[in-house]
Amino acid sequence: QVQLQESGPGLVKPSETLSLTCAVSGYSISSGYYWGWVRQHPGKGLEWIGTIFHRGNTYYNPSLKSRVTISVDTSKNQFSLKLSSVTAADTAVYYCARHNMIWGVIGDYWGQGTLVSVSS
Amino acid sequence: DIQMTQSPSTLSASVGDRVTITCRASQSISTWLAWYQQKPGKAPKLLIYKASTLESGVPSRFSGSGSGTEFTLTISSLQPDDFATYYCQHYSSYSWTFGQGTNVESK
């Protein structure tokens, strides 16, 4: 059974960098699939942040591209999100997910999500 | 960019009702459309992909249809567990877009 688990600070100061990691179990990232991040502002809808392939190919939402970096560590079977220069508008629940490109699906498996608040 | 518009934003229904949610794309997207169910405090759950294919384990009362620019998610007989928010999602060229969501609430 594929499982994803987000981890990282729940509180980040304005102007600093948000850093989250998604640990994957039950499937080797190196075996394929694309992996990515989705966020949800409190009480709002879902927003794609970015995507990575195990070879390091990355794709980002144009609205966030200048501040986002997604990386992968196949030795630890995990991938990470960095979002720089955060403001209160980046307060959200952050989900990691496995994409299924054949189906065009952003998430056939999801982490449970982690709330990140931006506040001084 | 392709915009996805769901309607209605909120739907009030009773157990046993037939429920239909619509998702419209700003341009043709063939059948590159998925539907998710999300409950409060939980991650989205995949229901349907490629517009009409039911994900494994999803009850058969859920169905999807459509192609091009107009798509529907239908729940044939609403069950207590189905009160939730539903999102459509489009994929194109390494980019994903969601509809704004439809909250199905108890009448």
Q: Going by C-beta distance under 8 Å and a sequence separation of 6 or more, which residues neighbour residue B85?
A: B37, B38, B39, B101, B102, B103, B104
Per-residue pLDDT tens over the stretch A35-83: 999 999 999 999 999 999 989 899 999 999 999 999 999 999 999 999 9
What phi and psi values does residue B81 have, to the nearest 5 degrees? -75, -10
d(CA A58, CA B94): 9
Instruction: Give the best residue of B4, B42, B67, B94 to mutate against chain A (max A CB count within 10 A).
Output: B94
Residue B76: strand pairing partners: none
User: Cα separations (Å) of B97 from A45, A109, B103?
Assistant: 11, 18, 18
Residues of B in contact with A59 (CB under 8 A): 94-95
Per-residue pLDDT tens over the stretch B30-81: 999 999 999 999 999 999 999 999 999 999 999 999 999 999 999 999 999 9
A59/chain B closest Cα distance in angstroms: 6
Contact B44 A103 (CB under 8 A): no
Q: What is the mean pLDDT of chain A?
A: 96
User: Cα separations (Å) of B78 from A6, B14, B17, B40?
Assistant: 33, 7, 5, 18
Residues of A in contact with B95 (CB under 8 A): 48, 59, 61
How open is the CA angle B89-B92-B97, to the nearest 5 degrees?
35
